[in-house]
Structure 1
């Protein structure tokens, strides 16, 4: 099979693409892949590091107000359509899949116009502008949340889930002691993501003395850029026994599968990991993302009882501590959250997406 993949801008668009590529590689030893992204985007660094063939186009997003930049963006779009068609003719893909971001626009549009089987994959419960535009042209729309279904042509929509879930679903508990944790205590992880989230960090630090006396342990992930300043703010940081402070975790699933509760943001790919593992959550959506989509993502889990929603505008150290205490002191509540989360997860997402790809290839 020859598969052309496109998606970029954020890890939330890139990692699901890589997950489905890896799943395809396991079932097709003749697989050929081409990835199209932007030269300066995060996808260039990540995809080339994976050793995958990569080509780039130049594209940008539309401004929300009338602007000369939008005229330039339109010109870039049509230029990128021309370049994309050239790449497609050279590669001759059996199927093209777009996982989101502006770069998908010209690539998937070109493929659809060339009558090549096309799929877009929407990770969020509130779809992005590019995927809503492309939905009218593609063969199928793969979604991760039922809440996204109403934004697309109903006959095209298929619930597949996020391929990233497939990669983490088989993560085995390694034992808390191997992670430097007390195997006899429950554990909470608090993290604002790889870059960290200052409001979450501040809320936790304001109550750190209470956490140090709790009957559960806390893994506090500050984010790289906040690590040193946070250590400077905490008195006697070297004497902490119940709170483990880390700048960043690269093997997040290995930690997550051992957690009794997670506190943090609600990016789509991360929620795929959480539901695949069935980890109870307190979700604090970032209010700084496009169209507030993290809150919509969070509600897709919390409205069903798989976690608790805490908006950043309501976040205080005391409120966060109370919510954590409530969940950590109620074994039945955590078990209910865990079971609900797993029911909402789709651990075979990559296989579902591959099946969908094969179906549209056969129909063409």
Structure 2
């Protein structure tokens, strides 16, 4: 165990996508707020977004070889065992070097090696390092299912994720850790400044549209296709269409403005500026949008295992949003359903309260406290 004078040593393992990295960094931030002496090390791979996001947040990043798990029988299965061994060895070296007291994993390519490396090695001198597992998705991934078998505590964003600790029928439902700049956002207080930042008027309803970091073609085509009707209805639009995508808009009119940008680097300001959102329903998106109490039209990805729809269902059940199938989001839907919603202030207020009540604003602090309990236990 690390020297008490230098603080506990915590490894956060959640690399690859922002959906794994952001919760890990939110917990890292919460750990430092609870105890500034804690040393946090992020575990990642050279191919993930963590190489950019982790240094930006000021945490040391240790890289290990990734272990992508084949979902179908392929030739890659033959390469899996040596890849796992190499990655576990590298993870074990990091664990020993930083003298980790606890590992908290969030799934993805780096989580499985970290979980396996946390067990006692062939040398009797090697100690086991306790594990906390957090599952953000409505359907647990393979890495976290394996980690849960070894974990001291197993946490999840929603009930029924298919992951649980020994002796329990389900994981502890905590929600998804979200960064404090989002959970502490006062949309009313920041609305005027946020709208000025994007060049939006202060007195019209604002629709926020985003499809993740790369954008989403269905969302782009549906909303831009109704641009004239939105402007005529007095509804401003802030639309992040993706860095590799373009959208076609009509010539500027006297109506409300349509602000189209490739990417939004200040999502906190975007949330503050908006009255409602149209977005995908990845776990992190749902967590952030509900945490700030923003009514939303969730458009799950039309492929995959259906987890995006499951992510949004608890918020929709509380009245904080709607789920619209990808094929049904059209310009006509925007005109017939979204415009009336944006023009009904009382309805938006009710949906906003429902979304906020369904969210988990304190999830990062809750996870951090559990991590400290396990480390000190």
Instruction: State the TM-score, normalizing by the size of structure 2.
Output: 0.88
1:342 is aligned, of 339, 352, 356, to 356
Q: Deviations over 1:46-97 (max 9, x none)?
A: 2234342222221332222222211212221122222222221222111111
Residue in 1 aligned with 2:238?
219
Q: Deviations over 1:135-171 (max 9, x none)?
A: 11111112122342x5324367222222215441212
Residue in 1 aligned with 2:131?
118
Asked if 1:262 is matched to 2:277, the reply is yes
Q: How far did 1:323 drift?
A: 2.0
Residue in 2 aligned with 1:332?
346
| Superposed counterparts of 1:88-237, under 5 Å | 88-113=95-120, 114-148=127-161, 150-153=162-165, 154=168, 157-164=171-178, 166-172=180-186, 173-176=189-192, 177-179=195-197, 180-226=199-245, 229-230=246-247, 233-237=248-252
* Kept in 2: contact 1:256–1:279 (CA 8 A): yes
| Superposed counterparts of 1:18-33, under 5 Å | 18-33=25-40
Q: Deviations over 1:104-141 (max 9, x none)?
A: 00112221444212111111122222111211111111
Q: How far did 1:356 drift?
A: 0.7
Asked if 1:302 is matched to 2:316, the reply is yes
* Kept in 1: contact 2:40–2:60 (CA 8 A): yes
Distance 1:156 1:211, change over 3 A: closer
Give the secondary-structure state (helix, strand or coil) at the position aligned to 1:256.
Answer: helix
Asked if 1:320 is matched to 2:338, the reply is no
Number of matched pairs: 357
Residue in 1 aligned with 2:290?
275
Residue in 2 aligned with 1:81?
88
Distance 1:339 1:257, change over 3 A: same
Bigger mean CA offset, 79-88 vs 155-164: 155-164
Residue in 1 aligned with 2:4?
none
Q: How far did 1:251 drift?
A: 0.8
Task: Tell me how far apart the structure 2 counterparts of residues 206 and 83 of structure 1 sit (CA, whole Å).
Answer: 50
Asked if 1:15 is matched to 2:15, the reply is no
Residue in 2 aligned with 1:251?
266
Task: Tell me how far apart the structure 2 counterparts of residues 209 and 243 of structure 1 sit (CA, whole Å).
Answer: 9
Q: Point out where structure 2 has 5 or more consecutive residues left out of the alignment.
A: 1-7, 121-126
Higher helix share: 1
Q: How far did 1:238 drift?
A: 8.3
Instruction: State the TM-score, normalizing by the size of structure 1.
Output: 0.91
Task: Tell me how far apart the structure 2 counterparts of residues 259 and 337 of structure 1 sit (CA, whole Å).
Answer: 13
Q: How far did 1:5 drift?
A: 1.2
